[in-house]
Amino acid sequence: MRLLPTAIAASSLLAGIVTATLPNKGTFTYDEHSFLLNGKPYQILGGQMDPQRIPPEYWRQRLQMAKAMGLNTILSYIFWDSIEPVRGQFNFKGRNDLAHFFDLANKEGLKVVIRPGPYICGEHEWGGLPWWLSNIDNMAIRQDNAAFYNASKAYIDRLGHELRRFQISHGGPIIMTQLENEYGSFGSDKKYLQAQAGLLRNNFDTPIYTTDGGGVDYLKGGTLSGVLAAVDGFDPIPAFEARQEYLKTDPTVGGPLMHGEFYTSWLDLWDSDYPHSTPTYAWSGIPAMVDSLDKVVKGNNSFGLYMFHGGTNFGFEGGSTNSGKQGSVTSSYDYGAPLDESGRVTELYSAIRKMLVANLPAGSVPEVPATPPMLAVPKFELKPVSSLFDVRVDKPTLHADQPVTMEALDQATGFILYQHTATEDATGAVHAGDHARDRIIILVNGVRAGIQDTAQVPLKTVNVTLKQGDVLQLLVENIGRVDHTHEMKEQRKGIVGAIKVGDKALTGWDMFSLPLKDISAESIADDNGPPNIKEQNGPVFYTGSFDVPKGVKIGMAADTYLSFPAGVKGQLWVNGINLGKLWHIGPQQSLFVPGAWLKTGKNEVVLLELEPTADTKLVGEGITTRQWFNQPSQDN
C-alpha cells in the first residue's frame, strides 16, 4: 500500500523518460509509480554523504556503515569550488577524488545519486560556488546569464569527463543526477534551469530530477517541465501532498514519490545561544522521526536521509547563513546524523536500522562492522612562538589609497590585514566600509581596541583615538560566504568602501593577504623568539605536540577530539592539515582529528589564537566523547 496515490493523467509524457544505455550495461528509468533498475522496481533507500567532507582513508568504512544500516543508495553533493579553486585549474585529488569514491560505492553494492550543482547550498562556502566568479565581468549567479553559463559549463563538462564511466549505463553506480538545488526557494528563471538541464544531459545519460521544499510555491519556481520533481523537509506527508497538488499544474514533473532530503536534524552555527542540533532538537524525538520514515518505506516511496553522515567542514570550507544577522557554520558537520562525525553509530542509526531490517527481506542487511574506541590524548601544553603579523607579513600585497576586497587580491578565504599609519590626529568610531565582511579585529599600535562582527546586531561601536604616527590595523576574517543567496556583490569579502574614523575617511593603506595555507611549526618560527603577549594583543601562533602510542593502529583507533578549553577563537592545524575553526562560544567545543592523518609518535599542533591575553595558557587534550555546550562571548 502506498503512502499517497501517484496517478498521473499525462502518463504518456512519462513513458519517454528513459536512459541511454550501452549493450549489456545497466539501465535506470522510472514510470508513474516506481523507479526501475534494469527494468525492475527499485526503491531508493538513500543517505546523504559528501565525500569531500570525509578523509578518503575512511570512505570505504563509511559506505559499509551505510549498507549495514539498510541503505542501498548514497546521495552526494559535489563542491565546485573545491574542484576548481582557481578558474580553469581542476583538482580531482585527495578528497576530490570522486572517481575513487564512486568506484568504492560500486564495489560495496551501493547506487549513487549525484548532486553537482553548480549551486548546492549544503552549508558549504557560498553553496559550492567558487569565489572567483566575483571577478568575472557581467556575472550574475543562478540566472539566465552568459557569464555564469560559460563558467558552469566548463565545470560540468569536466565533471562529466571524469565521471562518465561511473554511470549505470557504463556499469557504474550513478543512477540519477540532480538539477541545481532547491531553486524554488530562490527564483523561478526557467531559461536558467533549461540551460543547466542541457549541460547535465550533454554530460550524463542518467535521469535528472529537481529537489525543492515541500510547498506548491517552491515547486512552482524550482521545477522544470519534463524533469522529475522530488521534495524535501522534515515531514514527508505534506511535502508529498504538495507535489501531488502541483501535478495538476504540470503533470510532466510526476513520477515516483521521493523525499530527497529527509532531515534527520539541522545545522550548527557558532553562537552563544545556539544549541547543538540533535534528532530530539529537530523532531519530537527519535521514535517520531523513525515512525515517519517507516511510513515512507511502507508506502514504497523513496528517500534520502539528510544527513546519513555529515563529516567535517575542514579548513575554511564552512559557509555562513544570513537571517537578519550572519552566522558562521561550525567546523563540525555532525548534523545529529545517524553516523556521527567520527563514523561511529548513534542511537538514531540503531533505531533506523531496526526499522529498515523489519521492512527488508530477511538476511539482506549485513551486520554492522565493528569500530575501535577513540584515542584519549593526555593534556599537552602549547607555547606562543610568533605573532601572525610578524611572521606572515613581509611586505604588503598591495598599497593603495583605498582598501580593496579579498577577491581583488586573488584570495579565496582566510584573512586580510589592512594597515594605515596616521598622518594626522583622528578620533571616533571606526566604520569599515559598508559593513563588516565578516569579522574585524581592530588594533591600534598592536593593542586590540575592539571587534566588529556581522553576527552582532546592531554592529558594535568601536571607538579609537589616533595620533600622528599611530598604526591602525583591521584584521578582517572571512567567516564563510553565505550559502543560500542569489546575491553576488554581497559575497565579496574584506573591506568594501572607505574606512573612516569618525567622519574622516582615511587614505593610504597597506593590504596583506593572509590565506594561511601550508602552516607548520617550521613555517611560523620567528628568529626574534616568542612574542611578549603582555605588550601585544594581536593574533599569536602557538605550537605543541602529542604522541600516538606505538600500540595504537593508525586509522580510526587513533581518532580523537582535540579540545583547548582556554582558547577564545582560532584555527587549528595538525601535521600541517587545516582541521578547521575553534570558538569558545560553541556549541562545538572540540575538533575532530582523523586518526588516518596522524602518525605513530610525535604529531605537530599549530593553533592560531586570534584573541590572546597576557594570561592565556593553552592546554590541549584529546577526548573520546564529544561535549557540546555554549558559553557567552568574550569579545570586547
What is the CATH number assigned to the segment(s) 392-514?
A: 2.60.120.260
Q: Please report, rounded to a whole number, the percentage of residues in the chain having pLDDT higher than 90.
A: 86
Radius of gyration of the chain (CA): 25
Place of cell 543567496: 485
pLDDT band at residue 446 using 50, 70 and 90 as cut-offs: very high
User: Mean pLDDT throughout 435-457?
Assistant: 92
Q: Is 182 a catalytic residue?
A: yes
Domains 31-359 and 377-384+523-623 share a fold: no
The Cα 630–Cα 272 span in angstroms is: 5
Query: Does the structure show a pLDDT above 80 at 359?
Result: yes
The Cα 137–Cα 632 span in angstroms is: 43
Cβ contacts of 460 within 8 Å, gap of 6 or more: 450, 451, 452, 453, 635
Query: Does the structure show a pLDDT above 70 at 14?
Result: no
User: Mean pLDDT throughout 428-451?
Assistant: 94
- The DSSP bridge partners found for residue 482 are 320
Among 239-243, 322-326, 366-370, the range scoring the smallest mean pLDDT is 322-326
Rounded to 5 degrees, φ, ψ at 598 are: -100, 180
pLDDT at 24: 54
User: Mean pLDDT throughout 324-346?
Assistant: 95
pLDDT at 485: 72
Mean pLDDT of the chain: 93
pLDDT at 3: 46
pLDDT at 202: 98
User: Mean pLDDT throughout 164-182?
Assistant: 97
Q: Which helix (H) or strand (E) holds 195?
A: helix 190-203
Query: Which overall architecture, per CATH, does domain 31-359 show?
Result: Alpha-Beta Barrel (3.20)
Among 5-14, 35-44, 186-195, 234-243, the range scoring the smallest mean pLDDT is 5-14
**Do 459 and 429 contact (CB within 8 A), yes or no?**
no
Query: Does the structure show a pLDDT above 60 at 58?
Result: yes
Q: Is 57 a catalytic residue?
A: no
Catalytic residue among 180, 182, 341, 477: 182
pLDDT at 534: 74
Helices 98-107, 59-69: crossing angle, 10 deg rounding: 40
So where are the chain's domains?
31-359, 377-384+523-623, 392-514
Q: Can you tell me whether residue 211 is helix, strand or coil?
A: strand
Pure H helices in 164-285: 190-203, 216-222, 236-246, 279-282
What is the CATH number assigned to the segment(s) 377-384+523-623?
A: 2.60.120.260
Tell me the one-letter amino acid at 128. G
Query: Does the structure show a pLDDT above 90 at 4?
Result: no
Beta-carbon-side half-sphere exposure of residue 55 (alpha carbons within 13 Å): 19
Query: Does the structure show a pLDDT above 60 at 72?
Result: yes
Among 138-152, 160-174, 320-334, 365-379, the range scoring the smallest mean pLDDT is 320-334
pLDDT at 303: 98
pLDDT band at residue 535 using 50, 70 and 90 as cut-offs: low
Catalytic residue among 180, 261, 341, 609: 261
The Cα 8–Cα 435 span in angstroms is: 51
pLDDT at 9: 32
